[in-house]
Amino acid sequence: MSAILNPLERSWRKEQRNFGKKLRKKGWR
């Protein structure tokens, strides 16, 4: 289970970081 969740969680974390960057670019803080 961990082996399957690892890559998924990593991609999800990456997506979250990208989302935060986009919000900051828009000036949402």
**pLDDT string in tens for the chain (29-residue length):** 566 778 888 999 999 999 988 888 887 66
Q: Measure CA of the first residue to CA of the last residue in the chain; give whole Å.
A: 36
Q: What share of the chain is helix, strand, coil (3-state, %, to 5)?
A: 85, 0, 15
Report how far residue 20's alpha carbon sits from residue 12's, in angstroms, rounded to the nearest whole number. 12
Return the SS3 of 27: coil
What confidence score (pLDDT) does residue 4 get? 72
What confidence score (pLDDT) does residue 1 get? 57
Note the pTM of the prediction, 2 decimals: 0.49
What confidence score (pLDDT) does residue 18 get? 92
Q: What b/e sequence results for 5-28 when a residue is b if at least 16 CB atoms lie within 10 Å of its CB, and e otherwise?
A: eeeeeeeeeeeeeeeeeeeeeeee
